[in-house]
Structure 1
Amino acid sequence: MLITAADVAMIARVRRPVVTMWRKRYADAFPSAIDGRFDADLVVAWLTAHGRGNNPEPTRSLPMIELLVEARADVARAMELSAVLALRQAYGEMLVDDLAAPGPSGLTGRIAALDRLDCFGPEVLDLGDDLPRAAAAVDAFVDERFGAADAMGWLTNDCLVRHLPEFTAAALSPEASGLVSRSAVSLAEATARPGILDAAGVGFAWLQRLPPEWPQPVGLLRDESAVGRHSRRVVQVGEWDARVTMDERGWAVAVDTVLDADAAALFARAALGDDDQIRLVVGPARHLTDSDGATAPRDDLLRDGVVRAVVKLPAGCRPAHPREALALWVVAERDDTPFEQHRTYVADLTGAGLTQALIADLVDDLTVAAGDVASQQHRAWRVLRPVLTRHLLARGGSLVANASARPVKQLARPTLEALHGMAVDLGVGPLRLAPGRGPARTASSVQAGITEGWLRLIPGVRLALDQFGDGDLTVWSTDDGRLTRTSGVDRLTALAGPRTWLTRPGDVIFGPGPCAVVDPDGGSLVVTPARALRLADAAPVTAGQLARAVEASPRGTKPPQWRLTPLDPRQCAALSDAAARIGQRRAELTAQLDALNSFEDALLDACETNTITLETD
């Protein structure tokens, strides 16, 4: 079996560049590549003989890799793999054990209940006697990744989209997917009606980027193609409140990724079928923004006043056609503005990079553009530009001419003198500060820290706290998207549970959002869905850095996507000392604030009960 360098990295549990380094450093011993691929058995033998990588038993990864290799070449095999992965998430961790147990598993009778989106049942049942082997390989795959959702993301992006034309044609780039997902969420949150609908039924690329904690319904128009069924599996594994529908009406936001339709079909899809709905349409820019000779249907929609925003996206948003430009429309019910004064909001992002800052500004602009006139009049537009709709119609040709986005302003970095002054004013300093030397530091990631061994991700404990008596054990948990720290759980009872562990000082507790906080004291229990990141003694980042990196990450991102900047050991130690001084000062100010609040309460009580009287002039 021939495997890629990325497969070698997965077997060895290292980053992809490590494999390249091995090939150069051990050129005489490392298995030779055959057309850019490696013999899996030789790779496993080399890893075992030389003790390289972080996988003590690389042989156990071979069934999983074999399944992935087969999926890259065969759509049917890929569908089996994603179906079993969806089953694994729906059934739970005991799937492999239950299938291996003697006697009937009873799975057939449970398929209907487990397959709530009608997306994997037939494929799973068709596997027959091969299901236990496939389930075992998928279980190993889930263990290698960050759970079933991350495994599905890797399968989708690194396997299906890269190797199968059907999925490549339906995919969007990570940046474009993030833009569509964040826009849909923001538009839905601004309405009184719940829910986001994938009106194409094949939107796996943007659906997988919905926030994990998204509480509103997610709908998918039924599509029985391989891409459509896989899109439903992505949503089922994501555990959103999802449902399959044949009716586009009744959803707050309908997202339609119409990537290969002709102009007539595209503009028919853009028309509103529900006046209370907002449609987010993504399609070729040659139809939506540029002049390709078929402008009459486009002009009809503009004349109706329902096209609120028109954005031409940069090339590269579609992996199947990297030189093709896509465009985005926001379509909503026409407002009460007379047509002579009606405005459409446009932007041309040709040549711009879809950075997180630009996406955030554009999402905010799109949300206001879909709203009421009063909000639009008070908006300080960052990316979109208001243009009279009648001028767009009179102009013809491109709808976004002269509408390039302004560069996003960067925050000014504080000067050395300013930092000195702030430290003294806040009672932290003076700190020993000096101008930085050398080039800017290179950013890394949480995933790199885990792979390199200086960072460890620890899952939260699965416990029902209401079953424990009162006690003194502090508990970290989540409540309404926020981390909470409470006390009162019986220590002995909690620690008697399986796989129970307590935090250490400096552990970073994080939860969905993402949100994060440093546990300064340790000795606490972390209850799922909260988890912890633990730094090794020689880690090149501080706990404060790590917590800030998590907090600053875009909404809905996961540990592999979080970025942070390592420091050299001396700087890391100095920054830790400074952080400790800041923490001590913060504790002092917090104590003073608490005392001030207590004094205010006592004074109010004394005055109200006439215990004391404040003298007046």
Structure 2
Amino acid sequence: MTDTALLMTMSDIAGLAHVQRPVVSVWRSRSAATNTPFPTPVSRQRGVDLFNADQVGSWLSATGRGNNRDAAADAAAYAVPDAHDEQTFRGVTALLTLRAACDHALSTLTEAELVDLADEHDPDDDLLLREIEALGDTLPTLAAYVDALVEAAFGPTPAFERMLTDRFKRNLADEGDLSLSREALDLMAETVTALRLTQPADSVLVDPTGSASDLLIAIHQGEVPVMTANVDSPTARLQRRRLMVHGIVRTELQVLPSGAFSVTGAAVHVAQYPSAARPTMTPVQILSDIEQSVLQMTDEQLAVVLAPSAVLSDTGLSREADELRSSLLRSGRVRAIVRLPAGLLTGKPQQLQALWVLGAAHAEVALADRYAMVADLVATPLGDAAIDDLVSDLAASLGSQRMVRAHAFRFARLVLTRSLLASRRSLVAGVSTVIPARDQPAAALAVSIDRLAAKLEADVVVEPASEIASTSTVQELLTAGHLHYIPGNRIAAEDVSDDVIEGAAEAAGIRLIGPAEVANPSQLGHRSIDRLRFAAAYSSGRVTEPGDVVFATSPRPAAVVDTEGTSVVLFPARILRIEQADPNGLLDAVLAADIQAMPPGHRRWRAWPVRQVALNQRQALADALTSLRWEQKQALDRLGQLDELTDLLMAGVTAGTITIASEALSKGTT
């Protein structure tokens, strides 16, 4: 096909053969001593073996391995040319765009004819001409590769997308690692779609960064007009090529060197920061870019912005950045602030993102009474139902004051803008979606508790109240000194005893609490460490105090209250200790319950929201929970005794060693 070899990684081969990656390793090792050995690597880049695609395709066809009978023909779709650098990548995407534009094969054309064709389709050199010219004498070879790639991928569009999604093929230094997960793209697409429904039909999509192609393609439907910045960066040109391949008609947005631009009529501005063109943007630069959008927005325009929560919602900004964010809040155009769960950036899964919805300031609301919708979904997986409900909340936030009051928000609450400006906490502080609020009114809740307490003969009396619920994140409580963090101890495996601690052994050993005990509290006391050994080998080791909350993040968030204390916590389990001199409404049982309620996968424990108890109710709740725990223990003891009695009766009667008096009828019989 070409004079230049096409190369594949082991992962590429797995994709070509439609098998899992480990299968290829098995083929490679097991075929080594056969008559059809696996092809040998032809080169190695960044520690990764590269194989000749033609050899791999022939080997798969000859051996019948894999689940793709057309492997030899499809190899080009999973391979890249030798010496595939950034310039080659740009040239190949330009040729794919040209192939889509002219709708015929390129391999029959000479180098000069290819350049002329590129000039014909891109006379102003907006997206592909210079990239094709830069290929020089490799142009015919790469044109043949592009034809093979298009045939193997069944069209220019899937071929282009395959080039983008394969990180080995892409590897562009100036784009950063800002790819969004499917959940993030779905959220942005549904949010923008919902907002456009509130606008005239001729509303346009605006990308002021010139590099948000992932968002535009996820959002674009039908004949929606798209405007993107006239930036001449490689990233902006790549975006324009991608839009053209997808058949999306774009118009130019003139952005001045100062960052200023102008859009007339109804529009929805869409942006992700840092942008792909400027992946190292600082918080000040991000907020300055958002400010440019706000300055030019008319009342009929809206905006949806995705950026790190450290910039849009959290504390810790520099003075300049904080002043910029405060200025944006004072403008009244920030209508919704949402902190999102981790995992939305595929390359940085632990970095939290936040979303802003911008719109017209509330004209009918006095400045002092203006508000924003605030939500914290850091612990809420973005499934379809959650996205639907959040989008509903976001759309409602743009309505009139009457519409907002009539909407039943699932995730959000309304906060006065002046309160956000005055607070030194996160903009979403106090908003929790982890612990579901009771749907029952206070009176109905009190009746339910009274009914249960009466059935259980529990000495609990409650009354309806109107206290405002309070929550804070673990990080906020640590910073304020209401919580203390103590890491777990790293104990050598040979120092851990698996004997159950009881009797004399309890005096010689210290109870261990590790992730296994946290996940299954019934295992408490099954592992220990000798007291003398711990003192001698782990002189800096720490033990628990009564009331410490021991927690783990994997395989899912879990916590247990160590009511006894003097236990050794085994890493990676850790300790959260409430400051008894200033607990600020924290209660160990509530803290542990909140951690237990966290969904799987939420390992960013410092961002976990924690409920706080009103100061005048803290001791009363603690006493009530202690009483209920005692009742639970009594019930468990009775269950154990009933199980033992059941076993003894069955054993005795079946063995003929005892008989049951016929008149001894039991409860539950007829």
SS of structure 2 residue aligned to 1:209: helix
User: Could you tell me how far apart the structure 1 residues matched to 2:76 and 2:99 are?
Assistant: 16
Amino acid in structure 2 at the alignment position of 1:297: L
TM-score under structure 1 normalisation? Answer: 0.58
User: Could you tell me how far apart the structure 2 residues matched to 1:323 and 1:356 are?
Assistant: 21
Which residue of structure 1 lines up, in the alignment, with residue 246 of structure 2? 238
Alignment partner of 1:100 is 2:108: yes
Report Cα offsets for 1:206-232 as digits up to 9, x if no partner.
223234x43211111122222221112
Alignment partner of 1:266 is 2:286: yes
Amino acid in structure 1 at the alignment position of 2:268: V
- 1:406 CA drift (Å): 5.5
Alignment partner of 1:255 is 2:265: no
Match of 2:355 among 321, 328, 336: 328
- 1:352 CA drift (Å): 2.9
- 1:132 CA drift (Å): 3.3
Q: 1:38 to 1:300 in 2, by over 3 A?
A: closer
User: Could you tell me how far apart the structure 2 residues matched to 1:146 and 1:18 are?
Assistant: 26
Contact 1:87 1:114 in 2 (8 A): no
- 1:392 CA drift (Å): 1.8
Match of 1:318 among 322, 345, 361: 345
Contact 1:6 1:16 in 2 (8 A): yes
Report Cα offsets for 1:40-92 as digits up to 9, x if no partner.
25533421321234655655556665535644xx2211111111111111111
Counting only pairs closer than 5 Å after superposition, residues 128-139 of structure 1 correspond to structure 2 as 128-139=136-147
Report Cα offsets for 1:130-182 as digits up to 9, x if no partner.
33332222222223335322222221122368633433334333322332233
% of aligned pairs identical? Answer: 30
User: Could you tell me how far apart the structure 2 residues matched to 1:110 and 1:321 are?
Assistant: 37
Alignment partner of 1:91 is 2:115: no
Counting only pairs closer than 5 Å after superposition, residues 275-294 of structure 1 correspond to structure 2 as 275=298, 276-293=300-317, 294=319
SS of structure 1 residue aligned to 2:65: coil
Which residue of structure 1 lines up, in the alignment, with residue 64 of structure 2? 51
Contact 2:373 2:415 in 1 (8 A): yes
Counting only pairs closer than 5 Å after superposition, residues 34-433 of structure 1 correspond to structure 2 as 37-40=49-52, 42-53=55-66, 58-59=71-72, 67=80, 70-71=83-84, 74-92=85-103, 94-96=104-106, 99-100=107-108, 105=113, 108=116, 111-113=119-121, 118-159=126-167, 163-192=171-200, 193-211=202-220, 213-246=221-254, 247-250=261-264, 252-259=267-274, 260-271=280-291, 272=294, 273-275=296-298, 276-293=300-317, 294=319, 295-335=322-362, 336-405=364-433
Amino acid in structure 2 at the alignment position of 1:158: D
Amino acid in structure 2 at the alignment position of 1:341: D
Counting only pairs closer than 5 Å after superposition, residues 536-551 of structure 1 correspond to structure 2 as none
Q: 1:80 to 1:208 in 2, by over 3 A?
A: same
Contact 1:90 1:115 in 2 (8 A): no
Higher alpha-carbon Rg = 2
Contact 1:316 1:325 in 2 (8 A): yes
Contact 1:80 1:124 in 2 (8 A): yes
- 1:110 CA drift (Å): 6.2
Which residue of structure 2 lines up, in the alignment, with residue 9 of structure 1? 14
Contact 2:60 2:72 in 1 (8 A): no
Which residue of structure 1 lines up, in the alignment, with residue 572 of structure 2? none
Amino acid in structure 1 at the alignment position of 2:312: L
Amino acid in structure 1 at the alignment position of 2:10: A
- 1:393 CA drift (Å): 2.1
SS of structure 1 residue aligned to 2:395: helix
- 1:267 CA drift (Å): 2.4
Amino acid in structure 1 at the alignment position of 2:57: V
- 1:118 CA drift (Å): 1.8
Contact 1:357 1:408 in 2 (8 A): no
SS of structure 2 residue aligned to 1:152: helix
Q: 1:376 to 1:16 in 2, by over 3 A?
A: farther
Q: 1:171 to 1:102 in 2, by over 3 A?
A: closer
Report Cα offsets for 1:349-408 as digits up to 9, x if no partner.
223322233223222322222343343233222333222222222323200012233689
Contact 1:248 1:254 in 2 (8 A): no
What count of residue pairs does the alignment treat as equivalent?
Answer: 403
- How large is the Cα RMSD of the aligned pairs? 3.3
Amino acid in structure 2 at the alignment position of 1:285: S
User: Could you tell me how far apart the structure 2 residues matched to 1:227 and 1:7 are?
Assistant: 25
Contact 1:185 1:196 in 2 (8 A): no
Contact 2:331 2:361 in 1 (8 A): yes
SS of structure 1 residue aligned to 2:427: coil
Report Cα offsets for 1:225-273 as digits up to 9, x if no partner.
2222111222111112222221442361111222243333322222311
Amino acid in structure 2 at the alignment position of 1:252: A
Amino acid in structure 1 at the alignment position of 2:351: E
SS of structure 2 residue aligned to 1:166: coil
User: Could you tell me how far apart the structure 2 residues matched to 1:38 and 1:270 are?
Assistant: 43
User: Could you tell me how far apart the structure 2 residues matched to 1:15 and 1:189 are?
Assistant: 43
- 1:104 CA drift (Å): 7.3
Which residue of structure 2 lines up, in the alignment, with residue 609 of structure 1? none
- 1:309 CA drift (Å): 0.5
User: Could you tell me how far apart the structure 1 residues matched to 2:245 and 2:316 are?
Assistant: 41
Amino acid in structure 2 at the alignment position of 1:152: F
User: Could you tell me how far apart the structure 2 residues matched to 1:199 and 1:17 are?
Assistant: 43
Q: 1:186 to 1:52 in 2, by over 3 A?
A: same
Amino acid in structure 1 at the alignment position of 2:372: T
Contact 2:76 2:149 in 1 (8 A): no
Q: 1:347 to 1:145 in 2, by over 3 A?
A: farther
TM-score under structure 2 normalisation? Answer: 0.54
- 1:25 CA drift (Å): 6.9
Q: 1:103 to 1:197 in 2, by over 3 A?
A: closer
User: Could you tell me how far apart the structure 2 residues matched to 1:376 and 1:135 are?
Assistant: 57
Which residue of structure 1 lines up, in the alignment, with residue 528 of structure 2? none
Q: 1:299 to 1:75 in 2, by over 3 A?
A: same
- 1:310 CA drift (Å): 0.6
User: Could you tell me how far apart the structure 2 residues matched to 1:210 and 1:392 are?
Assistant: 31
Amino acid in structure 1 at the alignment position of 2:267: A
Contact 1:277 1:333 in 2 (8 A): yes
Amino acid in structure 2 at the alignment position of 1:186: A
User: Could you tell me how far apart the structure 1 residues matched to 2:289 and 2:390 are?
Assistant: 23
Q: 1:14 to 1:190 in 2, by over 3 A?
A: farther
Amino acid in structure 1 at the alignment position of 2:97: A
SS of structure 2 residue aligned to 1:282: strand
Contact 1:70 1:78 in 2 (8 A): no
SS of structure 2 residue aligned to 1:100: coil
- 1:307 CA drift (Å): 0.6
SS of structure 2 residue aligned to 1:37: strand
Contact 2:339 2:377 in 1 (8 A): yes
